Amino acid sequence: MMSAFSNLATFHKDTVALEHIAGRLGWDQETMMPSGSIGDRVEEFAALEKILHARRSSSELGTLLERAEAEDLPANELRQVQLIRRTFERTKKVPEDLAIALARLTPKAHKIWVEAREKDDFAIFKPVLAEVVMLTRDLGAALAEGGNGSPYDALLQEYEPDGSSEAISEMFRGLRPHLVDLRSEVLDRSPPPALNHSFEAEKQMQIAHILAEQFGYDFTRGRIDKAVHPFSSGSSSDVRITTRTNERDPMNCFYSTIHEVGHASYEQNIDPSYAFSAFGKGCSMGIHESQSRIYENQLGRSRGFTSFLYRQMKDAYGDFGVSEEDTFYKIVNRVSDGYIRTEADELQYNLHIMLRYDLERALVAGDLIVEDLEAAWNDRFEADFGYKVDRASHGVLQDVHWSEALFGYFPTYSLGNVYAGCLYEKMTEDFPNLESDLEKGDLSRATSWLKDALQQHGSRYPARELMSRACGKEPSVGPLVNYIKRKFSDIYDL
């Protein structure tokens, strides 16, 4: 006879399988789906969301939870019950018609965003974004009902279950002065040269595959495709990533690939016994972003690994105008004016996130309307960065997130940077000679350490507890600030 927990786990497994199908549909829409098929995809998403919403909030699930909670469960099973209970309680707060309306709207909004971005015209996107914001406000209000947080906090907790805007704002207050002061010093110095060469897209993709393999991405359980906005999708035995190419800027391809491999490796390295269970995915987006950011930055942009990348580029392109590995390292980490978050250097990246965080909080609260969003973005960007946005695709249209109603996601990037700083501090304490590995393109010690310390656990622990276990202390902004100061003071001879 099956236990109450086993019955609950069996029911939940089927729900997770349906979620995976929805994720695969999303991957297909952004990579391979014909543009004229969006009508069918809207109906498919709506049908799946109707089934998923019903399962996640059903009286049958409520009964299974109650019976499992009545058992004397070991800690691992109790944690899984708590995670399923959390989703159950959140889903019950959301009217079915609202959940289905969002599922119908976001595929259409994504398609319109792509068109608006291509045409550099925010007016094309404005009407559908206004609809997304309206439904998102309703969602936030429903989720916050009876709780202790704001509607924005309720949305944030979809990605950072134990997070709050108060804690996020405190993190930004701790980061901002250090970043602004250091940026001022750096921009007073002469920058390294920029790349000035044409880099064939096909060869970029060949190098991207090499980089993915070096970082441990398992191609028997994944693949790389191109998309407008790079992303990672899936879990367990099917984890797919995308990247993009620009013949004048190969770093966009290379570091987007490494970033998404960080996400994918987290999912691929979760204990296989957790597949299709409540533990079978990352425990928070802050932890997820810590993996993508430490792969991309502390490891991928290190002096050692850029030497490896330099040699790969020499093999592929011959003389591309950079004669020394040290110069290439400085080019990769060049601090310069730029509009695009995903291409921003480590020093300025979090300033991009702070802009989005404040704007999306204002949108959800109703303090900012979509009609005024582009002007608000442009004004804030000029105030923060000192120059004007030149076109919409470099400003309010550059990110995919709002088209997909992912309000509350953006601050997890900066939280991930903070966590990455803590993890790297501990990793280099454990492996003081890590740089020599990286110079050979050998990521095995670094990625194995991350797998053992963090990735294998999936959602077994809450985010801050997982970080404390991995690092031996509570996470804080200090390690990230120290790392950035050391790195850019060295590069710019401060």
Residues 439-458: tens digit of each pLDDT = 999 999 999 999 999 999 99
For residue 478, the SS3 value is helix
pLDDT at 146: 80
Domain-ending residue, one of 118, 138, 156: 156
Domain-ending residue, one of 114, 135, 156: 156
CA neighbours closer than 13 Å in the CB half-sphere of residue 368: 18
Q: Are 264 and 398 within one domain?
A: yes
Residues 6+ apart with CB under 8 A from 269: 450, 451, 455, 456
Tokens 């932890």 correspond to what residue?
287
Does residue 380 surpass a pLDDT of 80? yes
Q: What is the pTM of this model?
A: 0.96
Does residue 18 surpass a pLDDT of 90? yes
Q: Are 233 and 339 within one domain?
A: yes
List the domain range (segments joined by +) for residue 232: 165-491
pLDDT digits (tens, 9 = 90+) for 311-361: 999 999 999 999 999 999 999 999 999 999 988 999 999 999 999 999 999
Q: How far apart are alpha carbons 127 and 5 in whole angstroms?
A: 46
Q: Are 332 and 199 within one domain?
A: yes
The residues that bridge with 225 in the sheet, in sequence order, are 242
Instruction: With beta carbons less than 8 A apart as the criterion, state whether 5 and 71 touch.
Output: yes
Q: What percent of the chain has pLDDT over 70?
A: 100
pLDDT digits (tens, 9 = 90+) for 395-425: 999 999 999 999 999 999 999 999 999 999 9
Instruction: With beta carbons less than 8 A apart as the criterion, state whether 230 and 241 touch.
Output: yes
The domain total for the chain is: 2
CA 347, 259, 346 angle in degrees (round to 5)? 5
Q: Are 460 and 385 within one domain?
A: yes
71 exposure class (CB count in 10 Å sphere: 0-12, 13-18, 19+): middle
For residue 338, the SS3 value is coil
CA neighbours closer than 13 Å in the CB half-sphere of residue 280: 22
Domain-ending residue, one of 114, 131, 156: 156
Ramachandran angles phi, psi of 241, nearest 5°: -130, 160
The tokens of 313 are what?
A: 């580029």
Residue type, 380: R
Q: Are 211 and 129 within one domain?
A: no
Q: Are 276 and 336 within one domain?
A: yes
pLDDT digits (tens, 9 = 90+) for 135-160: 999 999 999 998 778 999 999 999 99
Average predicted confidence (pLDDT) for the chain: 96
pLDDT digits (tens, 9 = 90+) for 213-227: 999 999 999 999 999
Active site amino acids: 260
How many helices (H) does the chain have, and how many strands (E)? 20, 3
